[in-house]
Amino acid sequence: MPQRGEGWGETVFGEGGVRWAPELPPGWVAAGAGAGEEHAAEVVGGGPPTYAAEPTAWPEADPDGLDGLVADTVLDGAQYGGLTLRTVSVRGDSARYRGQPRRDALLTARFGTGDDALLLVAMASGARAADDAHRAAQDAVRWIAGAVGRSRERLAQDMRAARRGSLKSGLHRLTDRCYGRLRARGEDLGLEEGAYTASLRCLLLPADPECPIRLFFGVGDGGLFRVRSGSWQDLDLAPDPTAAPFRFRATVAQPGDALVMCSAGLAEPLRGEPALAAHLAERWGGGRVPGLAAYLADAQTRVKGYADDRTAVTVWDA
């Protein structure tokens, strides 16, 4: 292969003609203009983090398994009446440096139409040491989403009628079936029992503006928080001993609330670094809803000693 500067002339690799416009159209800037204006990711708490703020290496790809590739960052958002969502999943600084895939998976889905619709945000984190961690996480969010979507009508009826017991038992069954499929998939792959698994966190919301119920359910580590009146509330209590390890929490939204569900990669620094909690309370509290790019920057606020994948969804109620 020719080296840079050797043999790349017109006779070998013709780039083609380039027409230079004498004046740039309105809104355009010359290449390189403003390059020095980009701001580095914000850092709070102690000293500088160990790793660089931006991605370094991509994971190695298998040409026969390209469906297993995952992007470094996924970002989404929506608005239904007075309810606004922002959600993000971003590869951790450590994985970015080492060229490892993002172990967190994120899925957003709307089932149904109009006020009868249900909104689902599902996130999962694969086991740290497992080679198939990212695949297990992807399977977990897809399978739980499919189960919820097929049960949409019953779930919507139970939410409108505030039948907490029916919702808890029904979502528990759906979650158990999802984990049963994960176990079966692990057996098909010839893995040890329990090796093909992931923690799972889901937020189920009605699109109906007259129904303020917000449902959380799942299994494993992570966080469920609420910013109300400028202060953080930790809603992720220990699982019910009679249903462990299944977790379930039903909350009633109030205007101005910001409900946050996240993977362990964000929950741990939120609980462990007061400066991060204060920063995000200021950014997300008081009904202030950031745009998608600003929300990504918020979720990437860096803290020394915390370099795992981060996945989060924030729901604002007007």
pTM: 0.88
Helices (H), 161-273: 164-188, 264-272
pLDDT digits (tens, 9 = 90+) for 138-172: 999 999 999 999 999 999 999 999 999 999 999 99
**What pLDDT is stored for residue 130 in this prediction?**
87
The domains found in the chain, sorted by start residue, are: 71-317 (3.60.40.10)
- Reading the block at residue 218, the tokens are 């799942």
- Residues forming a β-bridge with 204: 120, 215
**What pLDDT is stored for residue 105 in this prediction?**
99
**What pLDDT is stored for residue 261 in this prediction?**
99
CA distances from 119 to 45, 244, 288 (A): 35, 25, 21
**What pLDDT is stored for residue 30 in this prediction?**
57
Residue count (the chain):
318
- Cβ contact 312:261 at 8 Å: yes
For 299, phi and psi rounded to 5 degrees?
Answer: -65, -25
**What pLDDT is stored for residue 128 in this prediction?**
87
**What pLDDT is stored for residue 41 in this prediction?**
73
Could you read off the pLDDT tens digit of each residue along the chain, which spans 318 residues?
555 555 545 445 555 665 655 566 666 655 555 544 555 678 998 778 889 899 999 999 999 989 989 999 999 999 999 999 999 999 999 999 999 999 999 999 999 999 999 999 999 999 988 889 999 999 999 999 999 999 999 999 999 999 999 999 999 999 999 999 999 999 999 999 999 999 999 999 999 999 999 999 999 999 999 999 999 999 987 767 776 799 999 999 999 999 999 999 999 999 999 999 999 999 999 889 999 999 999 999 999 999 999 999 999 999
SS (H, E, C) 39-106: CCCCEECCCCCCCCCCCCCCCCCCCCCHHHCCCCEEEEEEEECCEEEEEEEECCHHHHHHCCCCCEEE
Cα 200 from Cα 219, distance rounded (Å): 5
**Among 213, 258, 209, 259, which Cα is nearest to 81's?**
209
